[in-house]
Each structure stands twice: as structure tokens, then as C-alpha cells.
Amino acid sequence: QRLAALPGAQSSAAASDLPPVASGSNWDIAIEGRTRAPDETAPSPNVRSVTGEYFRTMSISIVRGRALVPADEENAPSVAVPTETGARSFWPGSDPIGQRVRFSRNRSWITIVGIVRDVKSAGLGEPTPPEIFIPHGQLPAVSGTMERTMYAVVRTAGDPALLAAAARHVVRDLDPQLAIRNVWTMRE
């Protein structure tokens, strides 16, 4: 919220990884109503933890349903949003919205509430992997072992490099011990 309030900022969010060179975390999932044969591998999408303004900040379009929103916090119903490739991979020929999944690391069911456009997260020249986005506020309910590194992203009205010093100040003001590794533009 403080980053989004900086002069020249339009919106801000955080994510566990960012395209186009995101390594991500693959988690096995179970899809409600489906059973796997003993020798069948579990579906394993790339899972990204994001805050509520992520899709708007990164200009990732909603194909159907809804985006994750700031209200998708720890005590709200558990929700997720796959990419188009994730939706086609895990629900071929059917509508994933309203379907439920659970991660092998958790027994709680998570409802699919929307589908977003594919993101070139594995590299610009690489095939798009199936991905599922989950609200960061619900991450503790999903897993205690996911990497806790987060990337802050800010959409700006002008030159994003002009906000770098102010963004660093906001982070340091919140937690002087927090390590800030890099500040760069998406073009960079």
C-alpha cells in the first residue's frame, strides 16, 4: 500500500517470483472428483504466491471469473487462479471455475475462482508451464515451507527508475533488517 501511494505509482503488489525468468515452486495437486492410478504422476503446476493487486500491477488479463483480490486473506475462503495453460492441462474440455484442488502439502480444498492469461514465466523463448496463483495471505494455510522471498512490483505512470530510491526507503522504513537484493525495471 505504501509503495502504491508513492508519487508516480499506479499500483503495487508482491509475488513469490516474477516473469520472465521465474523459477517457481512446483507442487503436486489433487483435483476433487478425480482419482489417480497408482503409477500415475500427480499434476504438478508451478505455484506462485501473490498479493491482491498482482494481476493489475503486472497487466495480466483475466480471461474468465475473477482475479485474486486483497480480501483473499487468511480467514477468507481458500481460492486460486490458474493460467490458461494450467486450466487446459488440469481440466481439459471442462470449466475449472468452481472446481476445487488441494495441494499435497495441505488437506484443505481450494476453489478455482478465475483464469488468467498465460505468463512467459519460464523464459521468453520457453514453453509456458501450467501455473496456479494463490493469495499470499492464504499461504500459511497452504504450506509452511514455500520460499519466503517476495518481490515487490510497482506500476508507474512515468520512468520507473525514478521511484527506485523512494521504494527502497519504504522497505527500509518498514523493516531496516530486510535485505533488498535488486531494484530493476521489467524491461531490464
User: 20-50 pLDDT, tens per residue?
Assistant: 776 667 788 888 888 877 887 777 788 889 9
Q: What is the pLDDT of residue 115?
A: 98
Counting every residue written for the chain, the total comes to 188
Q: What is the pLDDT of residue 126?
A: 84
How high does pLDDT run on average in the chain?
87
pLDDT reported for residue 27: 80
- pLDDT reported for residue 148: 64
Rounded to 5°, the CA angle 165-175-184 comes to 35
Q: How far apart are CA 124 and CA 20, in angstroms?
A: 6
The proportion of the chain whose per-residue pLDDT surpasses 90, expressed as a percent, equals 47
- pLDDT, greater one: 70 or 140: 70
Strand partners, 184: none
* pLDDT at residue 40, rounded to an integer: 77
Give the model's confidence band at 91: pLDDT under 50 very low, under 70 low, under 90 confident, else very high.
very high
CA–CA dist 37, 41 (Å, integer): 8
* Cross-strand bridge partners of residue 49: 134
pLDDT of residue 79: 96
Closest CA to 112 of 40, 33, 180: 33
Q: Per residue in 116-170, pLDDT tens?
A: 999 888 778 888 889 999 999 887 544 444 456 788 999 998 888 889 889 999 9
User: What is d(CA 188, CA 183) in angstroms, rounded to the nearest whole number?
Assistant: 10
Chain centre to alpha carbon of residue 102: 16
The whole-number pLDDT of residue 4 equals 94
